[in-house]
Structure 1
Amino acid sequence: MQRIKLVSPDKAYMEQVLNYKKEFIENQEDFAGSGGLRLTSDYDEWLTMLVDNSCDATVREGLVPASTYLAVTIEDNRLVGMIDIRHRLNDYLENFGGHIGYSIKRSERKQGYATEMLNLALDVCKNLQISPVLVTCDKENLGSAKTIINNGGQLINEVPEDYRITQRYHIHL
């Protein structure tokens, strides 16, 4: 049974998104898949940045076009996670970021939302004709590795970078 859906961010979600950001900052956690939410101080500025970064003509230098979605519960429209789908890869993303970045609110973890959210994102990737989909995670992030594997991810290799090791997975659609 599907419990969440992916929606495009808009003004209706402002309070929930700002609380999401606050929770990650207070817990000193990185919130991947948020379309650069950490970089902006203004919600409208963030929404504009998402639109700009969604196509080749307006994407910020050094980035690739991406679509950012909110994962909200079907029952009560509660924000549980965020996910970015990058339409293509650059050299850095090929090794360390992949096509998809995501995060789940601390208070919503270990409930299967990440697995479901990634599965929904793979449907978007299929529509964008992205296959195989490259998804990466830090080696010590066992929850994320499990999420990727549960969605058909096959470990390709591990890439060392500074203080961490990144695991690279392919998901064939």
Structure 2
Amino acid sequence: MDRLKLVLPTPDYKEMILDYKREFIENGDSMDGTAGLANSETFEEWYSAFFDNLKEETVRKGLVPATTYLALSTEDNCLIGMIDIRHRLNDHLLNFGGHIGYSVRKSERQKGYATEMLSLALKECLKLDIKKVLVTCDNDNIASAKTIINNGGKLENEVEADGTVTQRYWITL
């Protein structure tokens, strides 16, 4: 499965990223693993936050250092998805968010891309010396649960908050 490559965002990808955001907004989907793209007014605002959050010294208040990748098709360089690796966990991430968040644009779902993206991200986790990776999903997100399990995820438990049940999976590398 070498259909995807993970690359760091740069301003060269601005139009691709904005198109990705537009597709999610049009479909009313959640933009998980995008480093706050949904809440950014402009690409430049988002890119600045992405860059700040790469390092402990510059991470924005209330967040943890994280690296966000674009998942591009190796065939045509199309932006398929985005995936975010948090370098460490805070209390909220330990219960609900995990080390990794990801999303695949609606037009590219059900093609196995999320499984491949997560596999590639796990290799990046090793480079960050993260050997036990927490990945979570809502209990009704069957596709995400399958993606996590296909990458070796073992369900530890489910936690509930505000009517939402989150499944917590650990992947040991």
User: How much has 1:11 moved relative to structure 2?
Assistant: 1.6
How far apart are the structure 1 equivalents of 2:147 and 2:103? 11
Q: Deviations over 1:75-107 (max 9, x none)?
A: 110000000000000000000000000000000
How far apart are the structure 1 equivalents of 2:92 and 2:156? 16
| Aligned positions, number | 173
1:78 aligns with 2:78: yes
Instruction: Return 5+ residue gaps in structure 1 as ranges.
Output: none
How far apart are the structure 2 equivalents of 1:110 and 1:166? 22
- Runs of 4+ aligned residues of structure 1 deviating over 6 Å after TM superposition are none
How far apart are the structure 1 equivalents of 2:59 and 2:15? 26
- Residue aligning to 2:56: 56
Computed over aligned residues only, the root mean square deviation of the Cα atoms, in angstroms, reads 0.7
How far apart are the structure 2 equivalents of 1:160 and 1:43? 34
- Residue aligning to 1:160: 160
Query: Any idea what SS the aligned residue of 2:122 has?
Result: helix
Report the AA paired with residue 31 of structure 1: M
Q: In the TM superposition, what are the counterparts of 1:141-156 in structure 2 within 5 Å?
A: 141-156=141-156
Query: Any idea what SS the aligned residue of 2:140 has?
Result: coil
- Residue aligning to 1:109: 109
Percent identity of the aligned residues?
60
How far apart are the structure 1 equivalents of 2:3 and 2:22? 24
How far apart are the structure 2 equivalents of 1:61 and 1:12? 27
Report the AA paired with residue 13 of structure 1: Y
Query: Any idea what SS the aligned residue of 2:31 has?
Result: coil
- For normalisation by structure 1, the TM-score amounts to 0.98
How far apart are the structure 1 equivalents of 2:89 and 2:9? 23
- Residue aligning to 1:47: 47
How far apart are the structure 1 equivalents of 2:143 and 2:50? 27
Query: Any idea what SS the aligned residue of 1:75 has?
Result: coil
